Structure 1
Amino acid sequence: MLDACAELVDEIGYESLTTTLLAERAGVAIGSVYQFFPDKRAIVQALTLRNLEGYLQRISSRFADTQFTHWWDVVDAAIDEYISMHRAVPGFRTLHFGDVVDVHLLDEERDNNTIIAEQLAGLLVDHFGAASGPRLDFALGIAVEAGDALIKLAFRRDPDGDPAVLAEAKALIREYLYRHVNTISR
């Protein structure tokens, strides 16, 4: 059902998505949809959680397979995976991490990008040795918001992501974080 949901949101958008269309696309009875999901928001939330888990898994795998020399290589890898998901994962370009539906889709207390920033902070602390704390969280929060907005712009300008905008997004984030991460790394 989640795969069918991803295909449909790419084709018709979130607003046009219905549980009936989802059931038809998934080849299941409408009762089966309601057995697992009370409404389309819950379906999209489950898809968003799957996307988040997939993103974090991709980053973790990349971190495990690669020896990074500098912290900015870690940031570039995180951005590259986000861009890759925009290009390759059905539904991701439309839903991202659920902000199209609700900025608090992943957690009622924290907005979706804050959760992403917290996960990235954990990865930087665990895999690079950055000092955890409010300064790192704040800097990564700003970087995630800026990166998210610029990557969305790149994909609005070009279905494959405008290369010039994507390059500028990476440069902007790297330069911004350079001022902060260097002062809070161990």
Structure 2
Amino acid sequence: MLDACAELVDEVGYEGLTTTLLAERAEVAIGSVYQFFPDKRAIVQALTLRTLESYLQRLDERFASDDLSDWWDGVDAAIDEYITMHRTVPGFRTLHFGDVVDLHLLDEQRDNNGVIADQLARLLTERFGLDGVPDFRFHLEVAVEAADALIKLAFRRRPEGDERVQVEARALVREYLHRQLDARTEAAQPG
């Protein structure tokens, strides 16, 4: 049902999605849809959570490789995976991480990009030992918001993503994080 939901969201958008359409596409009885999901919001929330898990799994794999030599490589990997998912994962281009439906779809207490920033902070801290860097989580959330907005712009401009906008998104995030974090990272290092 989630695969059918992803396809439909790309075809008709969130507003056009109905449980009836979903049941038809998934080739299940409408009662089966309601057995698992009370409404279309719950279906989209489940799809969004699955997408978040996939994104984090992709990043875990990238972070586990030896190709990342510093924290910026991890940020770059996060941007790469976000762009790749826009291009390849059904439903992602429309839903992203659920903000089209509800800014608090992933977590009632934090907005969706805040959840993403928390997960990125965890991964970056584990991989690059960034604990103790002052305001790290805050600056990462600002960077996530900026990157998200610019990547959405790139895909509104061109179906495959406007490369010029993507380059600018990377440059903006890189410059911002370097300016905010490099001095703090050095200050937090022992010795």
Q: What TM-score results when the alignment is normalised by the length of structure 2?
A: 0.95
Instruction: Spell out structure 1 runs of 4+ moving beyond 3 A.
Output: none
Q: Percent identity among equivalent residues? A: 72
Counterpart AA for 1:13: G
Is 1:78 paired with 2:78?
A: yes
Is 1:125 paired with 2:125?
A: yes
Is 1:3 paired with 2:3?
A: yes
Q: Residues 99, 133 of structure 1: CA spacing in aligned structure 2 closer, same or farther, 3 A cutoff?
A: farther
Q: Is residue 134–residue 184 contact of structure 2 (8 Å, CA) maintained in 1?
A: no
1:35-69 Cα offsets, whole Å, 9 max, x none, are 00000000000000001000000000011123312
1:22-101 correspondence runs (5 A): 22-101=22-101
| Aligned CA-pair RMSD | 1.1
Give how far 1:180 is off: 1.9
Q: What TM-score results when the alignment is normalised by the length of structure 1?
A: 0.97
Q: Residues 134, 102 of structure 1: CA spacing in aligned structure 2 closer, same or farther, 3 A cutoff?
A: farther
Runs of at least 5 residues in structure 2 that lack an aligned partner in the other structure: none
Whole-angstrom distance in 2 between the partners of 1:183 and 1:7: 45
1:75-98 Cα offsets, whole Å, 9 max, x none, are 111000000000000000000000
Whole-angstrom distance in 1 between the partners of 2:133 and 2:46: 30
Counterpart AA for 1:83: I
Whole-angstrom distance in 2 between the partners of 1:84 and 1:38: 31
Q: Residues 184, 131 of structure 1: CA spacing in aligned structure 2 closer, same or farther, 3 A cutoff?
A: farther
Equivalent position SS for 2:7: helix
Whole-angstrom distance in 1 between the partners of 2:142 and 2:155: 20
Q: Residues 132, 2 of structure 1: CA spacing in aligned structure 2 closer, same or farther, 3 A cutoff?
A: farther
Runs of at least 5 residues in structure 1 that lack an aligned partner in the other structure: none
1:7-59 Cα offsets, whole Å, 9 max, x none, are 00000000010000000000000000000000000000000000100000000
Is 1:137 paired with 2:168?
A: no
Match of 1:158 in 2: 158
Give how far 1:70 is off: 2.2
Count of residues in correspondence between the two structures? 186
Q: Residues 3, 76 of structure 1: CA spacing in aligned structure 2 closer, same or farther, 3 A cutoff?
A: same
Give how far 1:72 is off: 1.2
